[in-house]
Structure 1
Amino acid sequence: MPLGTHSTWLRRFTTAGPPRLRLVCLPHAGGSASFFHDWGHAFGDDVEVLAVRYPGRQERVCEEPWTSLEDLAGAITGELEPYLDAPLALFGHSMGATLAYEITLRLRERFSVAPELLMVSCRKAPHLLTPRTAAFDTDAELIEQVKELGGTDSALLDDEDLRELVLPAIRADFTAVAGYAARPGVQLPCPVVGYVGDSDRGVGAHEVAAWSDIAPHGFDLRVLPGGHFYLVDGREQLVGDIRARLAPQR
Protein backbone atom coordinates (compact mmCIF):
# COMPACT_ATOMS: atom_id res chain seq x y z
CA MET A 1 0.00 0.00 0.00
CA PRO A 2 1.43 3.46 -0.87
CA LEU A 3 2.70 5.34 2.17
CA GLY A 4 0.77 8.41 1.11
CA THR A 5 -2.61 6.68 1.01
CA HIS A 6 -5.20 8.96 2.60
CA SER A 7 -8.92 8.60 3.09
CA THR A 8 -11.41 11.11 4.44
CA TRP A 9 -13.26 8.08 5.83
CA LEU A 10 -10.41 6.78 7.99
CA ARG A 11 -8.29 8.27 10.74
CA ARG A 12 -5.12 6.24 10.61
CA PHE A 13 -2.82 5.63 13.59
CA THR A 14 0.26 4.39 11.77
CA THR A 15 2.88 1.95 13.01
CA ALA A 16 6.62 2.47 12.62
CA GLY A 17 6.91 -0.45 10.21
CA PRO A 18 4.53 -2.48 8.08
CA PRO A 19 1.63 -3.56 10.33
CA ARG A 20 1.03 -7.21 11.14
CA LEU A 21 -2.70 -6.45 11.45
CA ARG A 22 -5.11 -3.53 11.16
CA LEU A 23 -7.98 -2.90 13.58
CA VAL A 24 -10.94 -1.02 12.07
CA CYS A 25 -13.02 0.77 14.74
CA LEU A 26 -16.60 1.85 14.00
CA PRO A 27 -18.28 4.38 16.33
CA HIS A 28 -21.82 4.38 17.68
CA ALA A 29 -24.74 6.50 16.44
CA GLY A 30 -23.80 10.14 16.90
CA GLY A 31 -20.20 9.13 17.51
CA SER A 32 -17.00 10.06 15.73
CA ALA A 33 -13.52 8.70 15.11
CA SER A 34 -12.22 10.66 18.11
CA PHE A 35 -14.10 8.25 20.37
CA PHE A 36 -11.27 5.79 19.64
CA HIS A 37 -8.41 8.28 19.96
CA ASP A 38 -7.01 6.54 23.04
CA TRP A 39 -7.00 3.24 21.17
CA GLY A 40 -4.62 4.51 18.50
CA HIS A 41 -1.46 2.85 19.81
CA ALA A 42 -2.93 0.58 22.48
CA PHE A 43 -2.50 -2.79 20.78
CA GLY A 44 1.21 -3.06 20.16
CA ASP A 45 3.74 -1.66 17.71
CA ASP A 46 2.55 -3.92 14.89
CA VAL A 47 -1.21 -3.20 15.03
CA GLU A 48 -2.41 -0.20 13.02
CA VAL A 49 -5.74 1.31 14.11
CA LEU A 50 -8.15 2.76 11.54
CA ALA A 51 -10.97 4.76 13.16
CA VAL A 52 -13.87 5.40 10.80
CA ARG A 53 -14.98 8.99 10.19
CA TYR A 54 -18.67 9.22 9.29
CA PRO A 55 -19.90 12.17 7.18
CA GLY A 56 -21.43 15.15 8.96
CA ARG A 57 -19.16 15.50 12.00
CA GLN A 58 -15.75 16.82 13.02
CA GLU A 59 -13.47 16.98 9.94
CA ARG A 60 -16.50 16.19 7.75
CA VAL A 61 -18.99 18.48 9.48
CA CYS A 62 -19.74 20.35 6.24
CA GLU A 63 -20.90 17.15 4.54
CA GLU A 64 -24.46 15.87 4.63
CA PRO A 65 -24.76 12.95 7.07
CA TRP A 66 -25.95 9.67 5.57
CA THR A 67 -29.14 7.89 6.61
CA SER A 68 -28.52 4.34 5.31
CA LEU A 69 -26.34 1.79 7.08
CA GLU A 70 -26.11 -0.24 3.88
CA ASP A 71 -24.76 2.77 1.97
CA LEU A 72 -22.30 3.56 4.75
CA ALA A 73 -21.10 -0.05 4.84
CA GLY A 74 -20.62 -0.08 1.08
CA ALA A 75 -18.59 3.13 1.09
CA ILE A 76 -16.41 2.10 4.03
CA THR A 77 -15.72 -1.30 2.45
CA GLY A 78 -14.48 0.43 -0.68
CA GLU A 79 -12.22 2.71 1.36
CA LEU A 80 -10.63 -0.32 3.01
CA GLU A 81 -9.42 -1.82 -0.27
CA PRO A 82 -5.95 -0.18 -0.17
CA TYR A 83 -5.44 -1.53 3.35
CA LEU A 84 -6.01 -5.19 2.54
CA ASP A 85 -2.28 -5.89 2.27
CA ALA A 86 -2.47 -6.85 5.97
CA PRO A 87 -5.16 -8.84 7.82
CA LEU A 88 -8.07 -6.89 9.30
CA ALA A 89 -9.99 -7.13 12.54
CA LEU A 90 -13.17 -5.10 13.10
CA PHE A 91 -14.64 -3.61 16.28
CA GLY A 92 -18.01 -1.86 16.21
CA HIS A 93 -19.95 -0.37 19.10
CA SER A 94 -23.76 -0.22 18.95
CA MET A 95 -24.59 1.10 15.45
CA GLY A 96 -20.96 0.46 14.60
CA ALA A 97 -21.46 -3.25 15.31
CA THR A 98 -24.09 -3.49 12.59
CA LEU A 99 -21.78 -1.64 10.21
CA ALA A 100 -18.93 -4.02 11.10
CA TYR A 101 -21.20 -6.95 10.30
CA GLU A 102 -22.25 -5.50 6.94
CA ILE A 103 -18.65 -4.61 6.07
CA THR A 104 -17.55 -8.17 6.89
CA LEU A 105 -20.11 -9.51 4.42
CA ARG A 106 -19.03 -7.03 1.75
CA LEU A 107 -15.31 -7.75 2.21
CA ARG A 108 -16.07 -11.36 1.39
CA GLU A 109 -18.35 -10.55 -1.54
CA ARG A 110 -16.18 -7.86 -3.16
CA PHE A 111 -12.61 -8.86 -2.29
CA SER A 112 -12.82 -12.50 -1.10
CA VAL A 113 -11.36 -11.36 2.22
CA ALA A 114 -12.42 -12.54 5.68
CA PRO A 115 -11.42 -10.53 8.76
CA GLU A 116 -9.31 -12.26 11.37
CA LEU A 117 -11.91 -11.32 13.98
CA LEU A 118 -15.25 -9.47 14.20
CA MET A 119 -15.97 -7.79 17.56
CA VAL A 120 -19.51 -6.51 18.17
CA SER A 121 -20.38 -4.38 21.18
CA CYS A 122 -23.81 -3.68 22.70
CA ARG A 123 -25.80 -4.68 19.64
CA LYS A 124 -28.40 -7.37 19.13
CA ALA A 125 -27.70 -10.03 16.53
CA PRO A 126 -29.14 -9.08 13.10
CA HIS A 127 -31.97 -11.62 13.30
CA LEU A 128 -33.14 -10.19 16.64
CA LEU A 129 -33.42 -6.55 15.62
CA THR A 130 -36.90 -5.10 16.03
CA PRO A 131 -38.10 -2.67 13.35
CA ARG A 132 -39.10 0.67 14.82
CA THR A 133 -39.92 4.19 13.79
CA ALA A 134 -37.23 6.83 13.53
CA ALA A 135 -39.62 9.66 14.22
CA PHE A 136 -38.57 12.19 16.84
CA ASP A 137 -41.12 14.97 16.99
CA THR A 138 -38.73 17.41 18.65
CA ASP A 139 -35.02 17.89 19.17
CA ALA A 140 -35.71 17.57 22.90
CA GLU A 141 -36.95 13.98 22.41
CA LEU A 142 -33.86 13.06 20.43
CA ILE A 143 -31.56 14.66 23.00
CA GLU A 144 -33.32 12.82 25.79
CA GLN A 145 -32.76 9.48 24.07
CA VAL A 146 -29.06 10.21 23.48
CA LYS A 147 -28.55 11.24 27.10
CA GLU A 148 -30.40 8.15 28.32
CA LEU A 149 -27.85 5.99 26.51
CA GLY A 150 -24.99 7.98 28.06
CA GLY A 151 -21.51 8.36 26.63
CA THR A 152 -19.14 11.28 26.41
CA ASP A 153 -20.78 12.74 23.29
CA SER A 154 -23.99 13.54 25.16
CA ALA A 155 -22.21 16.36 27.04
CA LEU A 156 -22.01 18.31 23.77
CA LEU A 157 -25.78 18.58 23.77
CA ASP A 158 -25.75 20.85 26.82
CA ASP A 159 -23.99 23.58 24.81
CA GLU A 160 -26.54 25.33 22.60
CA ASP A 161 -24.03 26.27 19.89
CA LEU A 162 -22.45 22.83 19.72
CA ARG A 163 -25.87 21.22 19.79
CA GLU A 164 -26.73 22.81 16.43
CA LEU A 165 -23.58 21.28 14.95
CA VAL A 166 -23.99 17.72 16.26
CA LEU A 167 -27.76 17.19 16.15
CA PRO A 168 -28.05 16.67 12.35
CA ALA A 169 -25.53 13.81 12.44
CA ILE A 170 -27.17 12.26 15.48
CA ARG A 171 -30.60 12.44 13.87
CA ALA A 172 -29.25 10.91 10.64
CA ASP A 173 -27.60 8.05 12.53
CA PHE A 174 -30.72 7.26 14.54
CA THR A 175 -32.72 7.32 11.31
CA ALA A 176 -30.22 4.91 9.72
CA VAL A 177 -30.41 2.53 12.67
CA ALA A 178 -34.21 2.56 12.66
CA GLY A 179 -34.28 1.95 8.92
CA TYR A 180 -32.11 -1.14 9.16
CA ALA A 181 -34.82 -3.79 9.15
CA ALA A 182 -34.46 -7.09 10.98
CA ARG A 183 -33.18 -9.81 8.66
CA PRO A 184 -32.02 -13.41 8.74
CA GLY A 185 -28.40 -13.42 9.84
CA VAL A 186 -25.82 -14.45 7.26
CA GLN A 187 -23.23 -16.96 8.42
CA LEU A 188 -19.98 -15.09 9.04
CA PRO A 189 -16.60 -16.13 7.64
CA CYS A 190 -14.63 -15.39 10.81
CA PRO A 191 -14.71 -15.80 14.60
CA VAL A 192 -16.93 -13.34 16.49
CA VAL A 193 -16.64 -11.82 19.97
CA GLY A 194 -19.60 -10.11 21.60
CA TYR A 195 -19.24 -7.47 24.31
CA VAL A 196 -21.96 -5.97 26.48
CA GLY A 197 -22.27 -4.03 29.72
CA ASP A 198 -23.92 -5.87 32.58
CA SER A 199 -26.29 -2.96 33.23
CA ASP A 200 -27.09 -1.99 29.63
CA ARG A 201 -30.82 -1.26 29.69
CA GLY A 202 -31.22 -1.52 25.93
CA VAL A 203 -29.34 -4.68 25.07
CA GLY A 204 -29.17 -7.86 27.13
CA ALA A 205 -26.34 -10.38 27.25
CA HIS A 206 -28.60 -13.06 25.75
CA GLU A 207 -29.29 -10.81 22.75
CA VAL A 208 -25.58 -10.29 22.13
CA ALA A 209 -24.98 -14.01 22.70
CA ALA A 210 -27.30 -14.69 19.75
CA TRP A 211 -24.46 -13.66 17.41
CA SER A 212 -23.28 -17.20 18.06
CA ASP A 213 -26.09 -18.36 15.73
CA ILE A 214 -24.20 -16.88 12.76
CA ALA A 215 -20.63 -17.54 13.93
CA PRO A 216 -19.69 -21.05 12.76
CA HIS A 217 -15.98 -20.24 13.15
CA GLY A 218 -16.34 -19.58 16.87
CA PHE A 219 -18.00 -17.17 19.28
CA ASP A 220 -17.09 -15.74 22.66
CA LEU A 221 -19.11 -13.44 24.92
CA ARG A 222 -17.68 -10.96 27.41
CA VAL A 223 -19.99 -9.23 29.89
CA LEU A 224 -18.20 -6.25 31.42
CA PRO A 225 -19.22 -3.87 34.22
CA GLY A 226 -21.26 -0.86 33.10
CA GLY A 227 -24.09 0.28 30.88
CA HIS A 228 -24.34 1.00 27.18
CA PHE A 229 -21.08 2.94 27.32
CA TYR A 230 -19.22 0.52 29.57
CA LEU A 231 -16.21 1.01 27.29
CA VAL A 232 -15.62 4.57 28.56
CA ASP A 233 -14.97 3.87 32.24
CA GLY A 234 -13.97 0.27 31.49
CA ARG A 235 -11.53 1.17 28.73
CA GLU A 236 -8.52 -0.60 30.23
CA GLN A 237 -10.33 -3.89 30.73
CA LEU A 238 -11.81 -3.88 27.24
CA VAL A 239 -8.61 -2.78 25.51
CA GLY A 240 -6.68 -5.41 27.43
CA ASP A 241 -9.09 -8.11 26.31
CA ILE A 242 -8.88 -7.00 22.67
CA ARG A 243 -5.09 -6.74 22.85
CA ALA A 244 -4.87 -10.33 24.03
CA ARG A 245 -7.14 -11.51 21.19
CA LEU A 246 -5.11 -9.66 18.56
CA ALA A 247 -1.75 -10.87 19.83
CA PRO A 248 0.16 -13.29 17.59
CA GLN A 249 -0.75 -16.92 18.20
CA ARG A 250 2.12 -18.82 19.81
Structure 2
Amino acid sequence: MPLLDGDDDLWLRRFDGAPPDGVRLVCFPHAGGSASYWFTLSRLLRLEVVAVQYPGRQERRREPLIDTITELSDRVFEVIDRLPPRPTAFLGHSMGAVVAFEVAERLTRAHGTGPEHLFVSGRRGPTVHRAGTVHLQDDTRLVAELRGVGGTDPRFFDDPELLETILPVTRNDYRAVETHHWVPGPPLDCPITALVGDHDPQTSVDDARAWSAHTTGEFGLRVFPGGHFYLDAHRPAVAETITVALAGARTPLTFEEAAS
Protein backbone atom coordinates (compact mmCIF):
# COMPACT_ATOMS: atom_id res chain seq x y z
CA MET A 1 0.00 0.00 0.00
CA PRO A 2 1.52 3.38 -0.96
CA LEU A 3 2.48 5.76 1.82
CA LEU A 4 1.53 8.77 -0.26
CA ASP A 5 -0.40 9.55 -3.40
CA GLY A 6 0.84 10.51 -6.86
CA ASP A 7 4.42 11.54 -7.53
CA ASP A 8 5.27 11.71 -3.82
CA ASP A 9 5.22 7.92 -3.62
CA LEU A 10 8.07 7.69 -6.14
CA TRP A 11 10.38 9.00 -3.42
CA LEU A 12 9.78 6.37 -0.75
CA ARG A 13 10.02 2.59 -0.45
CA ARG A 14 8.41 0.93 2.55
CA PHE A 15 9.65 -2.54 3.36
CA ASP A 16 7.26 -5.25 4.58
CA GLY A 17 6.98 -6.45 8.15
CA ALA A 18 6.48 -3.11 9.90
CA PRO A 19 4.48 -3.12 13.15
CA PRO A 20 1.27 -1.07 13.19
CA ASP A 21 2.63 1.51 15.62
CA GLY A 22 5.90 2.81 17.04
CA VAL A 23 8.64 4.85 15.44
CA ARG A 24 9.08 5.17 11.68
CA LEU A 25 12.71 5.09 10.49
CA VAL A 26 13.46 6.97 7.25
CA CYS A 27 16.74 5.84 5.64
CA PHE A 28 18.81 7.97 3.24
CA PRO A 29 21.23 6.23 0.81
CA HIS A 30 24.87 7.04 0.12
CA ALA A 31 26.26 8.58 -3.08
CA GLY A 32 25.35 6.31 -5.98
CA GLY A 33 23.12 4.27 -3.68
CA SER A 34 19.43 3.43 -3.85
CA ALA A 35 16.59 2.62 -1.48
CA SER A 36 17.20 -1.12 -1.80
CA TYR A 37 20.52 -0.76 0.06
CA TRP A 38 18.54 -0.59 3.30
CA PHE A 39 16.45 -3.71 2.75
CA THR A 40 18.76 -6.15 4.60
CA LEU A 41 19.01 -3.88 7.65
CA SER A 42 15.23 -3.41 7.65
CA ARG A 43 14.77 -7.16 8.21
CA LEU A 44 16.61 -6.81 11.53
CA LEU A 45 14.42 -3.97 12.81
CA ARG A 46 10.91 -4.17 14.20
CA LEU A 47 10.14 -0.73 12.87
CA GLU A 48 8.39 0.82 9.94
CA VAL A 49 11.44 1.30 7.71
CA VAL A 50 11.03 3.72 4.82
CA ALA A 51 13.91 4.25 2.40
CA VAL A 52 14.28 7.33 0.23
CA GLN A 53 14.67 6.67 -3.51
CA TYR A 54 16.56 9.49 -5.19
CA PRO A 55 15.78 10.20 -8.87
CA GLY A 56 17.92 8.63 -11.57
CA ARG A 57 18.27 5.09 -10.22
CA GLN A 58 16.46 1.77 -10.41
CA GLU A 59 12.80 2.36 -11.32
CA ARG A 60 13.50 6.13 -11.39
CA ARG A 61 16.47 5.75 -13.76
CA ARG A 62 14.85 7.78 -16.54
CA GLU A 63 14.26 10.80 -14.31
CA PRO A 64 16.72 13.71 -14.27
CA LEU A 65 19.37 13.59 -11.57
CA ILE A 66 19.46 16.25 -8.85
CA ASP A 67 22.98 17.60 -8.51
CA THR A 68 22.81 19.77 -5.39
CA ILE A 69 22.23 18.73 -1.78
CA THR A 70 20.06 21.81 -1.28
CA GLU A 71 17.56 20.91 -3.99
CA LEU A 72 17.57 17.22 -3.06
CA SER A 73 16.92 18.07 0.61
CA ASP A 74 14.15 20.48 -0.34
CA ARG A 75 12.41 17.82 -2.40
CA VAL A 76 12.76 15.09 0.22
CA PHE A 77 11.55 17.43 2.97
CA GLU A 78 8.40 18.25 1.01
CA VAL A 79 7.61 14.54 0.67
CA ILE A 80 8.39 13.54 4.24
CA ASP A 81 6.43 16.50 5.57
CA ARG A 82 3.32 15.00 3.96
CA LEU A 83 3.72 11.55 5.51
CA PRO A 84 0.93 10.29 7.80
CA PRO A 85 1.65 11.44 11.37
CA ARG A 86 3.91 9.10 13.31
CA PRO A 87 7.06 9.53 15.43
CA THR A 88 9.86 9.53 12.85
CA ALA A 89 13.63 9.05 13.09
CA PHE A 90 16.25 9.49 10.35
CA LEU A 91 19.22 7.31 9.38
CA GLY A 92 21.65 8.40 6.66
CA HIS A 93 24.92 6.93 5.46
CA SER A 94 27.68 9.06 3.90
CA MET A 95 25.96 11.52 1.52
CA GLY A 96 22.69 10.27 3.00
CA ALA A 97 23.77 11.58 6.41
CA VAL A 98 24.13 15.06 4.92
CA VAL A 99 20.68 14.89 3.31
CA ALA A 100 19.11 13.50 6.50
CA PHE A 101 20.60 16.34 8.53
CA GLU A 102 19.47 18.98 6.04
CA VAL A 103 15.93 17.56 6.03
CA ALA A 104 15.96 17.51 9.85
CA GLU A 105 16.92 21.20 9.82
CA ARG A 106 14.04 21.95 7.45
CA LEU A 107 11.59 20.09 9.68
CA THR A 108 12.81 22.05 12.68
CA ARG A 109 12.41 25.38 10.92
CA ALA A 110 8.92 24.44 9.72
CA HIS A 111 7.55 22.89 12.90
CA GLY A 112 9.80 23.97 15.75
CA THR A 113 11.18 20.48 16.36
CA GLY A 114 13.10 17.87 14.42
CA PRO A 115 12.89 14.09 14.12
CA GLU A 116 12.81 11.81 17.15
CA HIS A 117 16.41 10.82 16.54
CA LEU A 118 19.07 11.40 13.88
CA PHE A 119 21.53 8.60 13.06
CA VAL A 120 24.48 9.77 10.95
CA SER A 121 26.78 7.09 9.54
CA GLY A 122 30.14 7.35 7.81
CA ARG A 123 30.13 11.13 7.56
CA ARG A 124 32.00 13.94 9.25
CA GLY A 125 30.09 16.66 11.08
CA PRO A 126 28.98 19.67 8.98
CA THR A 127 31.59 21.97 10.52
CA VAL A 128 34.40 19.71 9.24
CA HIS A 129 34.73 20.71 5.59
CA ARG A 130 37.19 19.25 3.12
CA ALA A 131 37.31 20.01 -0.57
CA GLY A 132 36.49 16.97 -2.69
CA THR A 133 37.47 16.36 -6.30
CA VAL A 134 36.27 12.82 -6.99
CA HIS A 135 33.49 14.12 -9.23
CA LEU A 136 36.13 15.80 -11.43
CA GLN A 137 38.10 12.60 -12.04
CA ASP A 138 37.88 10.47 -15.17
CA ASP A 139 36.01 7.17 -15.17
CA THR A 140 39.11 5.11 -14.37
CA ARG A 141 39.81 7.09 -11.21
CA LEU A 142 36.16 7.13 -10.23
CA VAL A 143 36.07 3.33 -10.47
CA ALA A 144 39.22 3.18 -8.34
CA GLU A 145 37.50 5.34 -5.73
CA LEU A 146 34.48 3.03 -5.67
CA ARG A 147 36.69 -0.04 -5.34
CA GLY A 148 38.52 1.63 -2.47
CA VAL A 149 35.53 2.61 -0.36
CA GLY A 150 33.48 -0.53 -1.02
CA GLY A 151 29.70 -0.72 -1.06
CA THR A 152 29.50 -1.59 -4.79
CA ASP A 153 29.04 -5.14 -6.05
CA PRO A 154 32.45 -6.04 -7.58
CA ARG A 155 30.69 -7.65 -10.55
CA PHE A 156 29.66 -4.17 -11.69
CA PHE A 157 33.27 -3.24 -12.38
CA ASP A 158 33.66 -6.03 -14.94
CA ASP A 159 30.46 -5.26 -16.83
CA PRO A 160 30.72 -2.21 -19.15
CA GLU A 161 26.94 -1.91 -19.48
CA LEU A 162 26.42 -1.85 -15.72
CA LEU A 163 29.26 0.61 -15.28
CA GLU A 164 27.64 2.85 -17.85
CA THR A 165 24.53 3.02 -15.67
CA ILE A 166 26.16 3.59 -12.29
CA LEU A 167 29.04 5.97 -13.07
CA PRO A 168 26.92 9.00 -14.13
CA VAL A 169 24.73 8.61 -11.04
CA THR A 170 27.70 8.22 -8.72
CA ARG A 171 29.58 11.16 -10.27
CA ASN A 172 26.46 13.31 -9.92
CA ASP A 173 26.08 12.45 -6.24
CA TYR A 174 29.76 13.07 -5.52
CA ARG A 175 29.39 16.46 -7.21
CA ALA A 176 26.40 17.25 -5.03
CA VAL A 177 28.07 16.39 -1.74
CA GLU A 178 31.57 17.64 -2.61
CA THR A 179 30.32 21.08 -3.64
CA HIS A 180 27.87 21.41 -0.74
CA HIS A 181 28.54 23.98 1.99
CA TRP A 182 26.52 23.84 5.18
CA VAL A 183 24.87 27.13 6.11
CA PRO A 184 25.32 27.55 9.88
CA GLY A 185 22.10 27.54 11.87
CA PRO A 186 20.72 26.60 15.28
CA PRO A 187 21.43 23.08 16.49
CA LEU A 188 18.75 20.41 16.35
CA ASP A 189 16.85 19.49 19.49
CA CYS A 190 16.81 15.72 18.88
CA PRO A 191 19.42 13.17 19.98
CA ILE A 192 22.13 12.46 17.41
CA THR A 193 24.00 9.18 17.19
CA ALA A 194 27.08 9.07 14.97
CA LEU A 195 28.31 5.72 13.67
CA VAL A 196 31.69 5.25 11.99
CA GLY A 197 34.22 2.62 10.97
CA ASP A 198 37.58 2.83 12.71
CA HIS A 199 39.41 2.69 9.35
CA ASP A 200 37.09 4.85 7.28
CA PRO A 201 39.25 6.76 4.77
CA GLN A 202 36.60 9.48 4.46
CA THR A 203 35.61 10.03 8.09
CA SER A 204 37.80 9.77 11.18
CA VAL A 205 36.42 9.14 14.65
CA ASP A 206 37.09 12.78 15.53
CA ASP A 207 35.27 13.86 12.36
CA ALA A 208 32.24 11.83 13.44
CA ARG A 209 32.43 13.22 16.98
CA ALA A 210 32.00 16.71 15.50
CA TRP A 211 28.28 15.96 15.10
CA SER A 212 27.94 16.58 18.85
CA ALA A 213 27.94 20.34 18.16
CA HIS A 214 24.75 20.06 16.13
CA THR A 215 22.24 19.13 18.81
CA THR A 216 21.03 20.43 22.15
CA GLY A 217 19.94 16.88 22.89
CA GLU A 218 21.99 13.82 23.77
CA PHE A 219 24.88 12.68 21.61
CA GLY A 220 26.24 9.18 21.12
CA LEU A 221 29.20 7.90 19.14
CA ARG A 222 29.68 4.27 18.21
CA VAL A 223 32.81 3.06 16.47
CA PHE A 224 32.82 -0.20 14.52
CA PRO A 225 35.70 -2.20 13.05
CA GLY A 226 35.97 -1.55 9.34
CA GLY A 227 36.06 1.09 6.64
CA HIS A 228 33.52 3.33 4.99
CA PHE A 229 30.99 0.52 4.57
CA TYR A 230 31.60 -1.04 7.99
CA LEU A 231 27.83 -1.54 8.33
CA ASP A 232 27.77 -4.27 5.67
CA ALA A 233 29.65 -6.51 8.13
CA HIS A 234 27.94 -5.24 11.29
CA ARG A 235 24.25 -4.92 10.47
CA PRO A 236 23.06 -6.78 13.61
CA ALA A 237 25.07 -4.43 15.84
CA VAL A 238 23.85 -1.39 13.90
CA ALA A 239 20.27 -2.64 14.24
CA GLU A 240 20.77 -3.10 17.98
CA THR A 241 22.14 0.42 18.32
CA ILE A 242 19.08 1.83 16.54
CA THR A 243 16.64 -0.33 18.49
CA VAL A 244 18.07 0.63 21.88
CA ALA A 245 18.16 4.32 20.98
CA LEU A 246 14.55 4.34 19.78
CA ALA A 247 13.15 2.20 22.59
CA GLY A 248 12.56 5.41 24.49
CA ALA A 249 12.35 8.15 21.90
CA ARG A 250 13.28 11.56 23.29
CA THR A 251 14.79 9.97 26.43
CA PRO A 252 18.45 10.45 27.38
CA LEU A 253 21.02 8.43 25.43
CA THR A 254 24.68 8.87 26.22
CA PHE A 255 27.38 6.50 25.05
CA GLU A 256 30.69 6.64 23.30
CA GLU A 257 31.97 3.14 22.72
CA ALA A 258 33.65 0.86 20.26
CA ALA A 259 31.59 -2.02 18.91
CA SER A 260 33.10 -5.45 18.44
Give the TM-score normalised by structure 1. 0.91
The equivalent residue for 1:126 is 126
Give CA deviations for 1:163-205 in whole Å, capped at 9, x if unaligned.
Answer: 1111111010010011102554641121100000011122100
Superposition deviation, residue 12 in structure 1: 1.0
The equivalent residue for 1:211 is 211
Across the two proteins, how many residue pairs are aligned to each other?
Answer: 247
CA distance in 2: counterparts of 1:133 and 1:179, whole angstroms: 9
Q: Which range is displaced more, 83-92 or 219-228?
A: 83-92
The equivalent residue for 2:32 is 30
CA distance in 1: counterparts of 2:119 and 2:11, whole angstroms: 20
Superposition deviation, residue 56 in structure 1: 0.8
Give CA deviations for 1:144-170 in whole Å, capped at 9, x if unaligned.
Answer: 111111113454233111111111110
Cα pair 2:44 2:236 within 8 Å, conserved? no
Q: Report the secondary structure of 1:92's partner residue.
A: strand
CA distance in 2: counterparts of 1:80 and 1:113, whole angstroms: 14
Cα pair 1:67 1:173 within 8 Å, conserved? yes
The equivalent residue for 2:64 is 64
Q: Report the secondary structure of 1:19's partner residue.
A: coil
Give CA deviations for 1:102-122 in whole Å, capped at 9, x if unaligned.
Answer: 000011122444211001011
Please, which runs of 5 or more residues in structure 2 have no aligned partner?
A: 252-260
Which residue identity does 1:206 align to in structure 2? D
CA distance in 2: counterparts of 1:20 and 1:54, whole angstroms: 26
CA distance in 1: counterparts of 2:158 and 2:185, whole angstroms: 38
Give the TM-score normalised by structure 2. 0.88
RMSD: 2.1
Superposition deviation, residue 84 in structure 1: 4.8
Which residue identity does 1:71 align to in structure 2? E
CA distance in 1: counterparts of 2:139 and 2:10, whole angstroms: 29
CA distance in 1: counterparts of 2:235 and 2:89, whole angstroms: 18
CA distance in 2: counterparts of 1:171 and 1:16, whole angstroms: 34
The equivalent residue for 2:144 is 144
Give CA deviations for 1:201-222 in whole Å, capped at 9, x if unaligned.
Answer: 2210011001111222110100
Cα pair 2:18 2:48 within 8 Å, conserved? no
